Amino acid sequence: MLRRMIIVVCVVATGAVWLWCAARFLIVNAPASSDIIVVVAGQNGEGRLRKALDLFQHGYGKQVLLDENTDLRVYGFVRAELAEEFVAHISGSAAGKVYVCPIRGDSMFEEAAHVDKCVSQYGARSVLLVTSDYHARRALATFKRILPRYHWSVAASEDSAEFGKNWWEHRQWAKRTVTEWSRFIWWEAIDRWRAPLT
């Protein structure tokens, strides 16, 4: 009886710790000085770009590549074209150092292939990814697996409207945590093993 009680207590404690750490586990924020900074395509593109420009100003990269879709539209405008127009108005030390990397599709495999083409034009050997905090662990794992010839690091861009470490405090944070965990598990269990290495 005592043994069962100890097992139950251990299982409950382990589950509680896992639940408490669920959102924290997804976040990886370990930027390293790199040849190029790549802003991963996604919902919070503006926040990610701001984070990338801040890292650029602090010497983390020589150029910034902004991934943006050529097959998605916003109010009738192609997202990549809107990004190019935005980049044209960037001033300061980032002027002429920020470029749009046009991508197609919505999978990380497709994005990695397009990123490879863009990054190789600049002769980069190390790449700093900038993505949303909840997406950082999976993005880093995916790019490392698909494009192992580059040295990868990642910086997490925060957006409290979308995600937070204490996932239980907001409905959106809880939804984002569950969704990203399901994608991360799918990546680890299935996609990782069929990911094309280039």
Residue-wise pLDDT tens digits, 131-151: 999 999 999 999 999 999 999
Averaged pLDDT, 139-164: 93
Q: Which residue has the higher pLDDT, 11 or 119?
A: 119
What does residue 10 show for φ and ψ, rounded to 5 degrees?
-65, -45
With cut-offs at 50, 70 and 90, classify the pLDDT of residue 172.
Answer: very high
Question: Cα–Cα distance between 176 and 23 in angstroms, integer?
Answer: 9
**CATH C-level class of 28-158:** alpha beta
Give the pTM. 0.86
- Inter-axis angle of helices 136-146 and 171-186, to 10 degrees? 20
Mean model confidence pLDDT for the chain: 86
- For residue 73, pLDDT beyond 80: no
The predicted pLDDT at position 35 comes to 95
Torsion of CA 31, 33, 35, 39, to 10 degrees: 20
With cut-offs at 50, 70 and 90, classify the pLDDT of residue 44.
Answer: low
Looking at residue 30, the DSSP 8-state letter turns out to be B
- For residue 45, pLDDT beyond 70: no
- For residue 107, pLDDT beyond 70: yes
The predicted pLDDT at position 149 comes to 93
Q: Which residue has the higher pLDDT, 69 or 196?
A: 69
Q: Which residue has the higher pLDDT, 104 or 153?
A: 153
What does residue 194 show for φ and ψ, rounded to 5 degrees?
-110, 5
- For residue 43, pLDDT beyond 70: no
Residues with Cβ within 8 Å of 45's Cβ and at least 6 positions away in sequence, in order, are: 39, 66, 68, 83
As separate numbers, helices (DSSP H) first and strands (DSSP E) second, the chain gives 7, 7
